[in-house]
Structure 1
Amino acid sequence: MTSTRAQTQPQTQPQTQPQARPEAARRSIGAAGPRLEAWEKVTGRAPYAVDHPVPGAAYAWVVQSTVARGVVVDVDTSRALAEDGVLGVLWHGNAPRLEPIGEPELMVLQSPRIAYRGQVVAVVVATSPEAARAGADLVRVREDGTKPDTVLRIDHPALYQPVQVNAGYPARSAIGDVDAGFAAAAVRIDATYRTPAEHHCAMEPHATTAFWERGCLVVFDGTQSSTAVHEALAGLFELPPQSVRVVNEHIGGGFGSKASPRANVVLAAMAARLVGRPVKLALTRQQLFAIAGYRTPTIQRIRLGATADGRLLAIGHEAVSQTSQLSEFVEQSAVLSRHMYAAPHRLTTHRVVALDVPTPVWMRAPGECPGAFALESAIDELAFAGNWDPVRLRIDNEPPVHPEEQIPFSSRHLVECLRDGAERFGWTDASGRVVRDPRPAVRRDGEWLVGTGVAASTYPALTWPSTALARATADQRFDVEVNAADIGTGARTVLRQIAADALDVPIHCVEITVGDSAIGPATVAGGSMGTASWGWAVTKACRLLRERIERDHGGHVPAGGVAVRADTTLEIRDRQEFARHAYGAQFCQVRVSTVTGEVRVDRLLGVFAAGRIVNPTTARSQLLGGMTMGLSGALLEQSVLDPRTGDFVTGDLAAYHVAVNADVPRIEVAWLDEHDPHLNPMGVKGIGEIGIVGTAAAVANAVHHATGVRVRELPIGLAEMITRSDA
């Protein structure tokens, strides 16, 4: 395995792989190009969930609870039903009974219990959106509420340690004696870091069009996994799998909030059954803040102990988060500390408390994003305390194998990312000598203090079984189908490139179809495993198709065509055991005003090692987008909960701030030409999430370098900067 520097600008001439055919110049993988659906999207022709035309459609509007803990005593629908255009009102007294499938969040309108403020307690269906909304205003819901418990505290008496956290990781791991190792260390850091609740704020709201036809249920849903929605609906409504179809041709973003089935799709299906006609349901931006999930707030204690020469002896990472009274979701914030750096003494734990709040869900880089803010900030603190260069400290603690599992890494080029990024950023010169002045609060430009920071990133390189269908026609065309979800990442674009190379044909000969559960099961567009998983299935199907044409038909496609379906379950299950991860390093320069305390990011640089890059254009967009979202989280994003009511008071885009053009500086993206034969046939790792992982820590570390103020809580506010920036 080798790693060489790639150019900052996307490469249009990819390097030849070992298995390259003589016509390598015709290769599709590695070629830059725009997304296939770009024209449809910019012209408004791409149909999203509620854009699909269906005859006689009705519209639904939800009614939400106003208490965070209690029961619905009574629902008076009489005034709503008398409103012109209102066709019906669903509530727990008349809603169809659903079959439990193990996900309480989907058991909507099944009981009078209220578990959080904003929970759906009724749905009004009418002939127009306006009539549905007017009817919802006329529904009278009588609630009996009690004082809610809504505040996450490090000393909450109901905190407990679960068995597992998100993605199936054990909640606790321990090697050696972290207390003894910490006590023996020459340089120690013991600090607590806090991250707030955050909401996804995708452009397209959660929305569904649903209708029943001859006992079959069809939905157009804005989901990151039509397979998961298909399975959930079949179970909830006790339908044969062939009687449910879920279409998600275009999705306007998700960031994890649409990775699992949500209440909107179940409610739309129930409402369509109630009124006997198609129903469109689109949640409003305000409704999303209660119903669509969020990233849990975290409290994380990091203990790092090192020898006098900067070798880590002890790593302790204890994470606390919240979940709801309905369902357990535990953010895996401490997991990255299990493999990021070497140390003989290690402890990582997770504790969680069930509060009267909505259930948290996956949000871009769940676990790694908040976890890296804590760990990478602490590494910077340790470097400052020991008078070590932060880049050098990370390099000196590079593990040769996974520190806890003691298995080899399939590839690990974090050191190369750090070195390459340091030179590009001007942290080091061409010889590798550090030229950055480590002293805080010494660089000044008028009223602005200037500083630089660094952080490392990682994200697991996951794959999951999927199926794909490849079909050849007599006119030398190829149709490839895989139930991928393109949430704006360019999935259909890169899958077409993968298919063309596997078929050994020019890309214009291939048509790609995604976003339909009728194609067959496929994994979610999440966990940065979409391209790796779907692409593996596509590659297998296309190679088998090519072999069949050669073997059975002498290289010629018969008049009736040839089709092959492939499933990757066996290949993924039987893979050799490796620790598979992508890595990156982010560098940041900030300015902090000594007058207002305002923090401005001047420059961001990210260098990544993420396997083979299928399409430099779409890859650059994903990495740049992740870093932009990380900047947004560092400086702006925070969902504020009123502890008295359990209501997210920042419940719209006027109060919940996300980065806009004026907030985003020059962002540079680069990647290494990484070859890893232990991943999948394409040699790719996911890139959708790694860009966000280290960005907030890089910003916070730069703020410390600029001001001498150590920020341990996000978002980075003004008050502390104002009071201490001139100190």
Structure 2
Amino acid sequence: MTATASVGQPINRLEGKLKVTGAAQYAGDYPVDGLLYGYVVNSTITRGKIINIETRAAMTLDGVVEVFTHENRPKLAWFDMQYADMDAPPGSVFKPLHDAEVLFNGQPIALVVARDFETARYAATLVKVLYQAEAFAACLDDNLEKARAPKIGMASVLKPPPPKPTGNFEEAYNNSPVKVSVEIKHGAEHHNPLELFATTTLYEGEGKLTIYDKTQGTINNQLFVANVFGLHYKNVRVLAPFVGGGFGSGLRPQYQLFLCVLAALQLKRSVRLTLDRQQMFPFCHRPQTIQRLKFSADENGRITALNHAAIGETSQYEDYTEIVSDWSHRLYPAPNTLFEYKLVPLDVHTPIDMRAPGGSTGMHAIECTLDELAYALNTDPLELRLKNYSDLDPSKGKPFTSKELKQCYLKAAEQFGWEKRNPIPGSMTRGNKLIGYGMATGIWDAYQFPARVEAILTAEGKLILNNAVTDIGTGTMTVMTQIAADALGVSLADVTFQYGDSKHPFSMFQGGSAATASTGVGIVMAAKALRKKILEKAKRIPGSPLKGIAGDDLVFGDGKIASRHDPSKYVSLGDVVAANNGRPIKTTNMGKPHLVKLRKYSKAAHSAAFVEVEIDKDLKTINVTRAVTAVAAGTIVNPKTARSQILGSMVWSISKALREESMLDENLGKYINPNLAEYHIPVHADIHALDVIFADEKDELINELGIKGVGEIGLVAMPAAISNAVFHATGKRLYKLPMHFNELLENETVSDNP
């Protein structure tokens, strides 16, 4: 037990000052003597072969050290293997500079290394390439006939295929009195983290490397480099103490890591390689997806049948999958279900996970379809969801470890003022604006991965925790420090959490909203073992006032161990270390999910989003004026950083629904807006009144801390709520994200004077 209470407090980010003052160093910031700089040459065709690549002009430029291509790159056993990283989908991982084949537009085909960045960048323009272009397919809409079931691989553990059908969907749907059928399209969406992808590789001789990398998983990248280049993993150290946004783009090792390490090892020099934003666009995207849904209900609003078929894109060499079509049955009971998911291989780079992968795509379609069903039933959308509410996971027939979604509905609806909604589309106005109210549900898996943590009580009586997890801007360092402070009963000032370094004990990559539960539980387990060691040593101190007191009657707090019933009997942590001859007391322990116990349960975080939009009657421009999101995610370790996570998701929801669009030129097979000027994201003027509510949810089953992640649950509900609000305002459904306001000008269904 502890006497402190850091968990639950709105603590400011401990590293915040470093970030806002510019003192935090990112992968491309570290000063290194004698550093060489790389610049990548990318293919200008989408599919074909390199017939000739001419590098002499670049090589003769003063300052250029080497130009690597498929013709002169070093031989590696990896090129003949299907080696992949911890987050790789089934297939054969892309290998830069492997051969003359061009698999996608923007593929790296050469690396120029020079004594300074400017020279490397200019020399890259002197590399001339002769191609033999081939026909390609990059547009999902034009290639739906190629759709097939995904290949099954290790990724299916976290991304299983859709469940088997139940009942008889076709019969139930056809015989239901109320039914809706929709097709919803999502274009590709790009990550665009603020920090560019960069790697700084310090060559330390004899196959030993220290690598500063933009990554969400230091150990993942350490193992990748060691395996690819045949190095002992202990000779490869990867650091990422600060990451300027990831959103999933840093889960896999990106190609600049491979190229940078290749150059450093071959030249026996330290090398830095930074990709510009255009070079990031080919691999940083959420896939194009087409979804067809059919929902039906009886006259009383009970859902009778659910059908969700999704088709996504993948590359020709890997089967990237998402969980898109399964979510509806985890929320809404239905005796008849049919869920399908297929892939279309295209001549693109493999898509990668993007915040709430599959969930934000699938839940948008599901919640818009359910909204349409509510209107077909002439039922309030919130009432329809409450009527079909289940405390069990309908898809598995298992109880949730906890589920306070109903509380989310009711609290958010009350705060938003949902009762003021006029149900007739187009009936609410404010001056020259049409007003629309929309709501939607969110669900996201409550993941937890194994994590090993080293806990050290130092000679000064301070606590140090070591784990390899990264902090991608979510406040990980702060919440881990809070958990550790409570676990040993010390102040925040007496805790140091060291992270983002592959030399520390094991952590999976930071993704899936799993980091706090994973590393946090590791801290609890390490602290528990450390307390046991400390107690044993404290009781062995000559004349110890704790002798004879049972462990349950002792409490850790304020930097000491004291009797619960007589606080005057205590031993300070400093005294324990002193009695240990001034030597630190250490332990390393693993935290892991309770797989056997949790087989009987379903695990998920839930949310409800309520949105108001204003739409200009004449121009049809759409503005989200206010929104409320309520979240049920167990214990909230830090309400301030958690609220920031949800607010960030809400801002992204506005962006996803109304702004972000990757423009694919079907004739070129490339994205034509690969920059922050033309890839539109919200500005301050687009964001108005946003509020966050955390439900009171106690979960004594899910893990030792009772916590679920909040990184993604705020994104899965609100895009649909915005879409539903647009319909309520105008009476017209827009079935493609992002929504284009000009589509509201076509065939208007609501008059200006309802």
* TM-score tier (shorter): over 0.9
Cα distance in 2 for residues equivalent to 1:573 and 1:198: 38
How far the C-alpha of 1:405 sits from its partner, in A, is 1.7
1:498-647 equivalences in 2 (<5 Å): 498-554=483-539, 556-557=576-577, 558=580, 559-569=582-592, 571=594, 575-647=598-670
How far the C-alpha of 1:275 sits from its partner, in A, is 2.4
Structure 2 residue 241 is the aligned partner of structure 1 residue 241: no
How far the C-alpha of 1:154 sits from its partner, in A, is 7.7
1:437–1:570 Cα change, 3 Å: closer
Which 10-residue stretch deviates more, 232-241 or 376-385? 232-241
Structure 2 residue 155 is the aligned partner of structure 1 residue 177: no
Instruction: Choose from 401, 425, 450 the match for 1:410.
Output: 401
Cα distance in 1 for residues equivalent to 2:362 and 2:410: 23
The amino acid of 1:325's aligned partner reads: Q
Partner of residue 208, structure 1? 199
Which 10-residue stretch deviates more, 89-98 or 683-692? 89-98
CA contact (8 A) 2:203 2:270 kept: yes
Structure 2 residue 54 is the aligned partner of structure 1 residue 66: no
CA contact (8 A) 1:105 1:263 kept: no
Cα distance in 1 for residues equivalent to 2:721 and 2:626: 11
How far the C-alpha of 1:184 sits from its partner, in A, is 2.0
Instruction: Choose from 273, 277, 301 the match for 1:281.
Output: 273
Partner of residue 133, structure 1? 121
Instruction: Choose from 264, 269, 293 the match for 2:256.
Output: 264
How far the C-alpha of 1:106 sits from its partner, in A, is 4.7
CA contact (8 A) 2:169 2:337 kept: yes
Cα distance in 1 for residues equivalent to 2:629 and 2:382: 14
Secondary structure of the structure 2 residue equivalent to 1:600: strand
Cα distance in 1 for residues equivalent to 2:323 and 2:52: 40
Structure 2 residue 293 is the aligned partner of structure 1 residue 302: yes
CA contact (8 A) 1:154 1:299 kept: no
How far the C-alpha of 1:337 sits from its partner, in A, is 2.0
Cα distance in 2 for residues equivalent to 1:439 and 1:601: 19
The amino acid of 1:228's aligned partner reads: N
CA contact (8 A) 2:199 2:212 kept: yes
CA contact (8 A) 1:594 1:725 kept: no
How far the C-alpha of 1:163 sits from its partner, in A, is 4.8
Structure 2 residue 476 is the aligned partner of structure 1 residue 453: no
Secondary structure of the structure 1 residue equivalent to 2:165: strand
Identity level (%): 36
Cα distance in 1 for residues equivalent to 2:265 and 2:229: 11
Structure 2 residue 9 is the aligned partner of structure 1 residue 31: yes
Cα distance in 2 for residues equivalent to 1:133 and 1:257: 24
The amino acid of 2:461's aligned partner reads: Q
Cα distance in 2 for residues equivalent to 1:358 and 1:124: 22
How far the C-alpha of 1:328 sits from its partner, in A, is 1.1
Secondary structure of the structure 1 residue equivalent to 2:415: helix
1:294-443 equivalences in 2 (<5 Å): 294-428=285-419, 435-443=420-428
Partner of residue 52, structure 1? 30
The amino acid of 2:41's aligned partner reads: V
- TM norm structure 2: 0.91
Partner of residue 725, structure 2? 702
How far the C-alpha of 1:244 sits from its partner, in A, is 1.0
CA contact (8 A) 2:448 2:592 kept: no
Cα distance in 2 for residues equivalent to 1:260 and 1:578: 30
Cα distance in 1 for residues equivalent to 2:490 and 2:676: 47
CA contact (8 A) 2:523 2:591 kept: no
Instruction: Choose from 158, 161, 178 the match for 2:146.
Output: 158
The amino acid of 2:696's aligned partner reads: D
Structure 2 residue 130 is the aligned partner of structure 1 residue 142: yes
Larger Rg: 2
Corresponding residue pairs, total: 698
How far the C-alpha of 1:576 sits from its partner, in A, is 4.6
The amino acid of 1:244's aligned partner reads: V
How far the C-alpha of 1:146 sits from its partner, in A, is 0.8
Structure 2 residue 692 is the aligned partner of structure 1 residue 669: yes
Instruction: Choose from 284, 300, 319 the match for 1:293.
Output: 284
CA contact (8 A) 2:391 2:403 kept: no
How far the C-alpha of 1:698 sits from its partner, in A, is 0.4
CA contact (8 A) 2:52 2:131 kept: yes
CA contact (8 A) 2:518 2:592 kept: no
The amino acid of 1:286's aligned partner reads: Q
Structure 2 residue 448 is the aligned partner of structure 1 residue 470: no
How far the C-alpha of 1:447 sits from its partner, in A, is 2.3
Cα distance in 2 for residues equivalent to 1:256 and 1:450: 35
Secondary structure of the structure 1 residue equivalent to 2:696: strand
The amino acid of 1:76's aligned partner reads: E
Cα distance in 2 for residues equivalent to 1:355 and 1:340: 33
Cα deviations by residue, 1:300-345 (Å, 9 ceiling, x for unpaired): 0111010100000001110011001121102221121230211111
CA contact (8 A) 2:159 2:323 kept: no
Cα distance in 1 for residues equivalent to 2:287 and 2:660: 13
Cα distance in 1 for residues equivalent to 2:588 and 2:192: 37
The amino acid of 2:724's aligned partner reads: N
Instruction: Choose from 709, 712, 716 the match for 1:689.
Output: 712
How far the C-alpha of 1:160 sits from its partner, in A, is 0.2
CA contact (8 A) 1:88 1:274 kept: no
Secondary structure of the structure 2 residue equivalent to 1:518: coil
Partner of residue 245, structure 2? 253
Secondary structure of the structure 1 residue equivalent to 2:398: coil
CA contact (8 A) 1:148 1:644 kept: no
Secondary structure of the structure 1 residue equivalent to 2:262: helix
Secondary structure of the structure 2 residue equivalent to 1:517: coil
The amino acid of 1:223's aligned partner reads: T
Cα distance in 2 for residues equivalent to 1:573 and 1:42: 44
Cα deviations by residue, 1:41-62 (Å, 9 ceiling, x for unpaired): 1111101001112211111100
Which 10-residue stretch deviates more, 183-192 or 565-574? 565-574
The amino acid of 1:630's aligned partner reads: S
Cα distance in 1 for residues equivalent to 2:376 and 2:220: 48
1:198–1:539 Cα change, 3 Å: same
The amino acid of 2:46's aligned partner reads: A
**What stretches of structure 1 of length at least 5 have no aligned partner?**
1-19, 429-434
The amino acid of 2:366's aligned partner reads: L
Partner of residue 542, structure 2? none
CA contact (8 A) 2:6 2:485 kept: yes
1:222–1:44 Cα change, 3 Å: same
- TM norm structure 1: 0.94
Cα distance in 1 for residues equivalent to 2:593 and 2:19: 37
Which 10-residue stretch deviates more, 500-509 or 45-54? 500-509
How far the C-alpha of 1:113 sits from its partner, in A, is 1.2
Cα deviations by residue, 1:569-602 (Å, 9 ceiling, x for unpaired): 4755664532110000000000111221210110
How far the C-alpha of 1:69 sits from its partner, in A, is 0.8
Which 10-residue stretch deviates more, 403-412 or 112-121? 403-412
CA contact (8 A) 1:163 1:170 kept: no
CA contact (8 A) 1:105 1:262 kept: no
1:570–1:301 Cα change, 3 Å: closer
Which 10-residue stretch deviates more, 272-281 or 307-316? 272-281
Partner of residue 220, structure 1? 212
Cα distance in 2 for residues equivalent to 1:602 and 1:88: 55
Secondary structure of the structure 2 residue equivalent to 1:696: helix
